[in-house]
Amino acid sequence: MDRQDAGDAITDNGSVLRRPTAVAAALACVLALTACSGESAATDGAISPTLKTVDGGENGLIAEGDRPPAPDLSGTTLDGERLDVADYRGKVVVLNFWASWCPPCRAEAPNLIEVAEQTEADGVQFIGVNVKNAKDEALAFERKQGVPYPSLHDQPGVLLTRFRKLVPQVPPTTLLLDREGRIAGRFIGGVTTRELLIPVQALAAETP
């Protein structure tokens, strides 16, 4: 199920910062769209964490001393259940910000599902954050893809603003949280199975 985009540039150390030129271009587009529309998501005033570095090193992970705590993240899932990410403390958590209208999100979905299934027994929990998306459309996408993990529904993008210094307004972005709830890795744009599996397994092998 792994895939490789033609523009991908794989670094020698497996860093999570892939395709820097493509990432920069994507961020520029996001900024341009925001400036043209004059619109921004509502915010709840939560302080967004920052990263000292996103250099992932050999295993694609941020050094433990440079990992900031993730902000509180809770709400209602697409299935109508309450979910608080803090309840998964002690597990490795993979947060994927996505929307059904996003082509890279649709392309990466099988890769996320594959890694989720491969690492579940290692104490890894995947959680989606569905942003700026009608609920019925998001649910239809999840059911078609057979997504096995829950997704918080963030149609207005309020939860997204808690990560505004880390996560672009336009999905997808994937964050890795270690067992202590700290941000340990980041992928901007669609992710492949190979890119995601190595750092997730490395996180799962860490001793808290």
H/E segment holding residue 188: strand 183-188
| Per-residue confidence (pLDDT) for residue 102, from 0 to 100 | 97
Model confidence at 164, pLDDT cuts 50, 70, 90, reads: confident
H/E segment holding residue 26: helix 20-37
Average pLDDT over residues 56-73: 86
pLDDT tens-digit readout, 84-123: 999 999 999 999 999 999 999 999 999 999 999 999 999 9
CA dist 175 and 77 (Å) reads 18
| Per-residue confidence (pLDDT) for residue 185, from 0 to 100 | 94
* pLDDT for 58 beyond 80: no
116: its two tokens = 């989720």
2: its two tokens = 């792994």
Tell me the average pLDDT of the chain: 81
| Closest by Cα among 128, 124, 116 to 91 | 124
CA dist 21 and 207 (Å) reads 35
CA dist 186 and 203 (Å) reads 13
58 vs 110: which has the higher pLDDT: 110
* pLDDT for 176 beyond 70: yes
200 vs 48: which has the higher pLDDT: 200
| Closest by Cα among 176, 139, 133 to 154 | 133
Beta pairing partners, 182: 69
Amino acid at 49: P
Percent of the chain's residues with pLDDT above 70: 72
* pLDDT for 60 beyond 90: no
CA dist 185 and 54 (Å) reads 7
Amino acid at 189: G
| Per-residue confidence (pLDDT) for residue 56, from 0 to 100 | 58
pLDDT tens-digit readout, 123-150: 999 999 999 999 999 999 999 999 999 9
Percent of the chain's residues with pLDDT above 90: 67
190: its two tokens = 């669609």
What domains, with CATH codes, occur in the chain? Answer: 20-205 (3.40.30.10)
Average pLDDT over residues 17-31: 37
Model confidence at 207, pLDDT cuts 50, 70, 90, reads: confident
How many residues can be counted in the chain? Answer: 208
